[in-house]
Structure 1
Amino acid sequence: MTNNLLNENYWTTRYLNKSTAWDTGEVTFPIKQYLDQLDNKEINILIPGAGNGYEVIYAFEKGFKIIHILDISFLPLKQFEEACPDFPKAQIHHQNFFEHIGQYDLILEQTFFCSLPPILRSDYVKKMIELLKPNGKLVGVLFGIDFQKEGPPFGGQMKEYRKLFSKEFEIVKLEPCINSIPPRMGTELFFSLRKIQ
């Protein structure tokens, strides 16, 4: 299963079959409201596993120009380019997240973490640390429940997330999400982490 979830064909097939329950069709409230609070439009932002990139489009239209979209599947990126034709091509990354190279002030988490098998969570943390600049932030939402069926999505609990992230990050915020989209209300945690120097 782990290899499948890092395989482009797996995710492209999910898009082709419209087996994309994570795709809300629009920017989600927690990310939207977080972006609305940011005054500095010059920060360098990455959204990994961004799919059709609704959060990227929203940020780009709000004036964030140094925002990068990354996905392992070409199909959602193609759809993203059609939806946002003025977006800089150099900031579109058709790539495995774990092979990406870059330096970012902010990385936004929106349904990427939950797509990865739990065995890869330590690798996820290490890669995030590698990609973030000094004092860089990792911000977004996580599922705060355990799912009854095998993932993806893969869930978890606040206690285990706190243990996972506290080794490498200062946990600025990790709490129940109060502005989830209705289908996810009561199941998400909002978090803000700062890279420890």
Structure 2
Amino acid sequence: MSAVIFSLARRSLSEGWLMRPGRSRPPSLSVKRATGYAGRSTTIAMSESSDSAVPAFWNQRYACGETPWTLHAIPATLRSFVKRTRARGRVLIPGCGTDHEVLRFLQSAGFEVTAIDFSAVAVTQINEALGNFDGKIIHGNFFKFDFPNRFDVIYERTFLCALHPRRWPQYAKRTAQLLRPRGKLVGVFFYGIEPDPPPYPLSKTGAAEIFGKYFRLIRDVKVSDSVAMFAGMERWQEWQLRSGATQKRIKSC
């Protein structure tokens, strides 16, 4: 999944996240043709944007296929979670990117799937990959979109770690607002040391401070099937919403 809707430092991921040893710089892109849902061609203007807080930056990466964070598989820890979870319900995937395999998997497991991304190119690509899909794919801002319902589960992967740490408290509050009582924030979280962020890694102390107000950690296991850029630095975690943590009406942050 891509990470979206955030205030990252004004620098290019191609100099940090996307540029790892042995990886060439993504090619420049001025204009990209993308196919719409019904086979219509749409021209999407691209710039050499280095501001990863704007959709154009991510549009360019998806159009170029420069998405090394995409797993192209179902994480084993997600499969385990679904197997252990008897109840089904609504699940939200923020910053879904083009991770259509996960959306299809969750739907086939019986969940009512909603996903959101602010990259128009990513949303177009994931809709094309999914084809006939009963879930909802939203082109919008996770922090501002007016979701009509709360969710039983929010699935995290590569969204939080692209947010500047100053946005993390807002992320925790927003996820708590969007969950039903005793709902869960689950997924793959990035921990460790990153000398040239983004991605921005969590620490155990930091995670407890950020999420502890709203959630309690009920599961924490090492991830063994990370993509190369995250190898050895990911953990599957399940954070359950505390009783009475947020009873306020859903609203944008």
TM range (shorter): 0.7 to 0.9
User: Per-residue deviation at 1:31?
Assistant: 2.0
Relative to structure 1, the CA distance from residue 128 to residue 2 in structure 2 (aligned partners, 3 Å threshold; closer, same or farther) is farther
Q: How far 1:180 sits from its partner (Å)?
A: 3.4
Q: Which residue of 2 aligns with 1:85?
A: 131
Q: Which has the larger radius of gyration?
A: 2
Deviations 1:66-92 (A, max 9, x none): 111111112222222122222136x11
Match of 1:193 in 2: 239
SS of alignment partner, residue 97 of structure 1:
coil
Asked whether the 8 Å contact 2:226–2:234 carries over to 1, the reply is: no
Match of 2:5 in 1: none
Partners of 2:64 and 2:223 in 1: CA distance: 32
Shifted more, 94-103 versus 23-32: the winner is 23-32
Q: What do residues 24-63 of structure 1 show as CA deviations (whole Å, max 9, x unaligned)?
A: 222222223322332333x010011011132111112333
Worse overlay, 185-194 or 133-142: 185-194
RMSD of equivalent CA atoms: 1.9
Q: Residues 20-59 of structure 1 correspond to what in structure 2 (within 5 A)?
A: 20-41=67-88, 43-53=89-99, 54-59=101-106
CA distance in 2, matches of 1:138, 1:68: 14
Offset of 1:105 from its aligned partner? 0.7
Corresponding residue SS for 1:100: coil
Kindly state the Cα deviation for residue 96 of structure 1 after the two structures are TM-superposed.
Answer: 1.1
Q: Could you tell me whether the CA contact under 8 Å between 1:129 and 1:195 is conserved in 2?
A: yes
CA contact (8 A) 1:73 1:94 kept: yes
Alignment correspondent of 1:99:
144
Unaligned segments of structure 2, at least 5 residues: 1-7, 11-50, 245-253
Q: Count residues in correspondence.
A: 192
Point out where structure 1 has 5 or more consecutive residues left out of the alignment.
none
Q: Which residue of 2 aligns with 1:11?
A: 58
Which SS does the other structure have where 1:10 is aligned? Answer: helix
Structure 1 or 2: more helix by fraction? 1
Structure 1 runs (4+) greater than 4 angstroms displaced: none
Query: Does the residue aligned with 2:143 lie in a helix, a strand or coil?
Result: helix
TM (norm. structure 1) is 0.88
Percent of matched pairs sharing the same residue: 26
Distance in 1, matches of 2:176 and 2:113, equals 18
Using structure 2 for the length normalisation, give the TM-score. Answer: 0.70
